[in-house]
Amino acid sequence: MGTKDTLRNILDQRIMIIDGAMGTMIQRYKLQEEDYRGERFKDWHVDLKGNNDLLCLTRPDIIKEIHIQYLAAGADIIETNTFNAQQVSLADYDMQALAYEINVAAAKLAKEAVQEFLASPEAKAQGRDKAFVAGAIGPMNKTLSLSPDVNQPGFRSIYFDEVAAAYYEQVKALVEGGADVLLVETIFDTLNAKAAIYAIEKFFRDTKQEKLPVMISGTITDASGRTLSGQTLEAFYISVMHADPISIGLNCALGAEQMRPHVEELSELATCYVSSYPNAGLPNAMGEYDETQEETASIIGGFAREGWVNLVGGCCGTTPDHIRAIAQEMKKYAPRQLPQVSLVEETA
């Protein structure tokens, strides 16, 4: 049985759990510049602190430890530490040439974490025998739909072919590193996401490999219910469904309470499984997240009680404690049922 069929079987039986924030956990280690550099990059010509994806090479012990903490908390799916690990975003650190290496290392680290956890007494005590690695493909720090210059609305700092090429390399590396699923996430510009989808399709067409399941997750940026590039949720959904994702959902930008009406709308639109992994509320004046795990779990529990979701987890500000509380809460509820879709025949 392939990964897609295995996931479908599980999703038809219960709500699956996605891990929480990687960045939030990394911050707890209070890493300094030398931690990011390691021995290999000790003489690098630009500052590297904040390049979290690089830690897959310089502090793999920390990244694996975080993965294992989320698995122990109940995560069925852990994301690779590759949110910004493509050439375009890595150019901020002049590390474009490391994109492939970072993604391969990240996927291998996550797979090792899964194998170590599933072999542990804790996993056996929980009755756990499966967990999956999602290759995380972030939105990139440049956008195809918007100009970075308000005085030149037609100007673009990057073009579709460049974005697609960067994503193609990332997809190739994540697959070769052993990812089970590809997750195109935190989408605020659908055209960037289309470039990622194009890259995924092209890679599997070029290599003639069986296509991995694809998860898609967008970001509603404010109360208007639109993405940053201006699409309504329905328009966003229609724009990406040609990718035939196993799930579509929402993450980041909003806390669970603010995300609630959008999750409801998406559950009514989607013919595939629906995911939701919100932030731990909205950030306070210091940019930190105060929502407790009990509060987050209770709100997401409301989504499940209404029958809106199939996969849930956490984004910014969430920790293994949040994921543990969410996983416990989800045991009370059945998963959202996929709608019955009938074909409409054309009449003469």
pLDDT of residue 152: 92
3-state secondary structure of 103: helix
pLDDT by residue (tens digit) across 80-109? 999 999 999 999 999 999 999 999 999 999
Helix axes 160-177, 190-207, angle to 10 degrees: 50
Quick check: is 147 in a domain?
A: yes
Average pLDDT over residues 65-74: 98
pTM of the prediction? 0.95
Tell which wins on pLDDT, 341 or 308.
308
Residue 159 lies in a domain: yes
pLDDT tens track for 155-199: 999 999 999 999 999 999 999 999 999 999 999 999 999 999 999
Q: How confident is the model at residue 224 (pLDDT cuts 50, 70, 90)?
A: confident
Average pLDDT over residues 320-338: 98
> Token pair 């949040």 is at which residue?
322
CA–CA distance, 240 with 194 (Å, rounded to integer): 7
Query: Nearest 5°: phi and psi at 15?
Result: -80, 125
In a domain, 168, yes or no: yes
pLDDT at 313: 98
**Residue 345 maps to a domain:** no
- Look at residue 346 in the predicted model and tell me its pLDDT: 60
Determine how many CB atoms are found less than 10 A away from the CB of residue 146. 18
pLDDT band at residue 338 under the 50/70/90 scheme: very high
- Domain ranges, residue 298: 3-330
Q: Is the pLDDT assigned to residue 342 strictly greater than 80?
A: no
Mean pLDDT, range 308-334, rounded to an integer: 98
Q: Reduced to 3 states, what is the DSSP secondary structure of residue 259? A: helix
User: Does residue 337 lie in a domain region?
Assistant: no
pLDDT of residue 303: 98
Instruction: Determine the pLDDT at residue 348.
Output: 54
Could you tell me if 85 and 53 are in contact, meaning their C-beta atoms sit under 8 angstroms apart? yes
Q: Please give the pLDDT value at position 340.
A: 83
Average pLDDT over residues 218-246: 94
Whether 105 is covered by a domain: the verdict is yes
Least confident of 28-42, 222-236, 260-274: 222-236
Q: What is the mean pLDDT of the chain?
A: 96
Per the structure block, which two tokens stand in for 199? 């890259």
Report yes or no: 215 and 245 within 8 Å, Cβ to Cβ: yes
> How many CA atoms does the CB half-sphere of 176 hold within 13 Å?
14
Q: How many domains does the chain have?
A: 1
> Is 344 a domain residue?
no
Q: What CATH number did the domain enclosing 66 receive?
A: 3.20.20.330
Structure tokens at 207: 């290599």
Residues 231-253: what's their mean pLDDT? 97
Q: Where are the beta strands (DSSP E) in 160-233?
A: 181-187, 214-218
Q: Contact, 314 vs 256, CB < 8 A?
A: no
Confidence of residue 244 (pLDDT cuts 50, 70, 90): very high
Maximum Cα interatomic distance, the chain, rounded to a whole number of Å: 72
| pLDDT of 101 | 98
Element (H, E) at 250: strand 247-255
Within a domain: residue 292? yes
